[in-house]
A and B are shown apart, each in its own frame.
Chain A
Amino acid sequence: MSGLIREIRFLASDRAALLWLGIALLVACVSVILGLREIAAQRAVLNDLIEIDYAEREVLDTLYQDWGDVAYYTFHLTWDSPSDFAFAALGQRDTSPWKHQIRALALEGQIYETDAENPDFALIGRFDFAFAANLLAPLLLILLLHDLRSAERTAGRYELLSATAASQGSPWFARAALRTGALALCLIAPLWAGGLPGGAGASTLIPASLVVILHIAFWWGVCVLVDRYGWTSPVNLTALVGAWLALAVIVPAAIKVSIEAAVPLPDGGEILLTQREAVNDAWDLPKAATMEPFIERHPAWADYTEVSQPFEWKWYYAFQQVGDQTVEPLSQAYRDGRIRRDRLAGSLAWLSPPALAERAMQALADTNVAATLTYEQRVRAFHKALREYYYPRLFRGEPVSTVSIEQRPQFQGKES
Chain B
Amino acid sequence: MMIGAIIGKELTEIRRDGRALGLLGIVGLLLVLGLTTGLATENAREREVLQAQADDSAVFLEQGEKNPHSAAHFSRMAHKPVAPLASFDPGVSSYMGQVIWLEAHSRNPAMFRAAEDAPELSRLENFSIAGVLTLILPLLVVLMGYGSIAGERERGTLRQLVGSGASPIHLLLGKFIVIAGVAFAVLAAAVAISTSFSLLSLSESGFSGGDLVLRGLSLLFVYGLYIVCLTAVTLLVSMLVAEARTALLLLLGIWVVTVVGLPRLSASIAEQVYPSPDSATFWEDTRASLQANRPPSESEDYVAVEREVIERALGRELRVDELDDLEINRGALRLEVSEVIDQEAFNAAYAELFANYEKQKNLRRMLSVLSPTIALQHLSRAYSGTDIGAHEHFSLEAERQRNDIVRAMNEDMMLNGAGESFGYLSPPEFWETVPEFDYRPPSVAAAWSESARDLTILLFWGLAAIAAMFWFGANRTRV
A contact residues vs B (CB 8 Å cutoff) = 16, 19-20, 23, 27, 30, 34, 37-38, 41, 45, 48-49, 52, 77, 91-92, 95-97, 99-101, 109, 112-128, 131, 134-136, 139-140, 143, 147, 151, 154, 232-235, 237-238, 241-242, 245, 248-250, 252-257, 259-260, 265, 267-270, 272-273, 276-277, 280, 283-284, 310, 334, 337-338, 341-342, 344-345, 349, 352, 354-355, 358-359, 362, 368-369, 372
Contact = CB atoms under 8 A, between A and B. Distances in A.
B23 A242 contact: yes
Contact of B261 (A19, A45, A136): A136
B279 A114 contact: yes
Given A77-B280, A114-B111, A359 B120 contact: yes
Contacts of A270: 52, 55
Interface stretch (B208-216, B250-258, B299-307, B393-401): B250-258
Contact of A95 (B113, B277, B357, B423): B113
By Cβ-Cβ distance, the 5 closest A-B pairs, closest first, are A125-B123, A253-B127, A345-B119, A268-B112, A119-B95
A237 B353 contact: no
Nearest to B36: A257
Contacts of B312: none
A348 to B, nearest CB: 8
B321 interface: no
Given A237-B252, A249-B125, 5 more contacts: A234-B245, A237-B245, A255-B121, A272-B99, A277-B74
Nearest to A351: B121
A327 to B, nearest CB: 14
Contact of A116 (B121, B252, B353): B353
A283 B260 CA distance: 55
A27 B261 contact: yes
B442 to A, nearest CB: 18
Contact of B117 (A120, A122, A131, A338): A338
Contacts of B117: 265, 268, 334, 337-338, 341
Given A119-B95, A131-B264, A260-B119, A280 B70 contact: yes
Dominant secondary structure at the A interface:
helix
Given A119-B388, A270-B52, A272-B112, A124 B123 contact: yes
Interface stretch (B155-163, B267-275, B446-454): B267-275
Contact of B99 (A92, A123, A269): A269
Contacts of A120: 92, 95, 267, 357, 360-361, 381, 387-388
Contacts of A123: 91-92, 94-95, 126
A121 B377 CA distance: 12
Contact of B109 (A114, A237, A362): A114
Given A127-B264, A283-B67, A369-B119, A20 B253 contact: yes
Given A136-B256, A249-B127, A237 B248 contact: yes
B278 A45 contact: yes
Given A101-B280, A126-B267, A234-B245, A256 B119 contact: yes
A250 B122 contact: no
A97 B70 contact: no
A89 to B, nearest CB: 11
Contacts of A77: 280
Q: Taking each of A112, A134, A136, A252, which has the highest tally of chain B beta carbons within 10 Å of its own beta carbon?
A: A252
Interface stretch (B226-234, B281-289, B339-347, B460-468): B281-289
Interface of B: 19, 23, 26, 30, 33, 37, 41, 48, 52, 55-56, 59, 64, 66-67, 70-71, 73-74, 77, 79, 91-92, 94-99, 101, 109-113, 115-127, 135-136, 139, 143, 146-147, 244-246, 248-249, 252-253, 256-257, 260-261, 263-265, 267-272, 275-284, 353, 357, 360-361, 377, 381, 387-388, 391, 423
A259 B268 contact: no
A355 B146 CA distance: 30
A362 B92 contact: no
A232 to B, nearest CB: 8
A113 B283 CA distance: 12
A43 to B, nearest CB: 12
A267 B114 CA distance: 10
Contacts of A354: 122
B235 to A, nearest CB: 16
